[in-house]
Every structure is written in C-alpha cells, then in structure tokens.
Amino acid sequence: MKTLCTSLAIGLIVASAAPVRAASPPPPGAASCSGCHAATSQAIPNIYGRDADATRSTLLAFRNGSMPATVMTRIAKGFSEDEIGSIAAWLATQK
C-alpha cells in the first residue's frame, strides 16, 4: 500500500509540473543548444523565444565566418541553410 501511495504521489507531482519548453519536438541539432544556452546561464545569451530572423542571421554569420566565434563557427558550419532556418524557427517558439 505504501508503494502504491508513493507511486501515485510521484505521478501526481510529475503530471502537474509545468513543462519547461513547448511540446513540439526540436528539429535535428536544436536540442543540443540547451547544453550551453541554458535559460539560467548568464555568460551565454538566452536564445529561446528570440526572433527567428535574428537567430537565423546570427547562425548564418557564424557559418560564413563574418561573425567569428570559437565554438559557434564550427557548430554552424555543420548545418545547411534550411536546417538553420528550422532551428531558428523552433527556438523562436520556445519560452
């Protein structure tokens, strides 16, 4: 009985917890952004909920080298223009 009550309590807590991000699944590559761009990070900018066009422009600038960076230049070069657009659009929907 104790195990059942504990299981029900845990299930109720999990079910009532507010989701951190929107329910739509991220496009390939977008899920890894949270590794550095966590909502609580103060050193690295929050990119969630940012305008999609601004994010897309920034990623394209990293990719073509006009905005130099240590890590983001290498990451952005791994994505096509369409993939960058999908990632930027998804990130814009996240709060």
pLDDT in tens, 44-93: 888 999 999 999 999 999 999 999 898 999 999 999 999 999 999 999 99
Name the residue among 64, 59, 66 with its Cα closest to residue 89. 59
Higher pLDDT, 23 or 79: 79
pLDDT of 48:
92
pLDDT of 84:
97
- CB count within 10 Å of CB 56 equals 19
Cα 36 to Cα 4, 47, 52, 82: the distances in Å are 39, 10, 19, 22
Cα three-residue angle 89-17-93, rounded to 5 degrees: 10
pLDDT of 31:
85
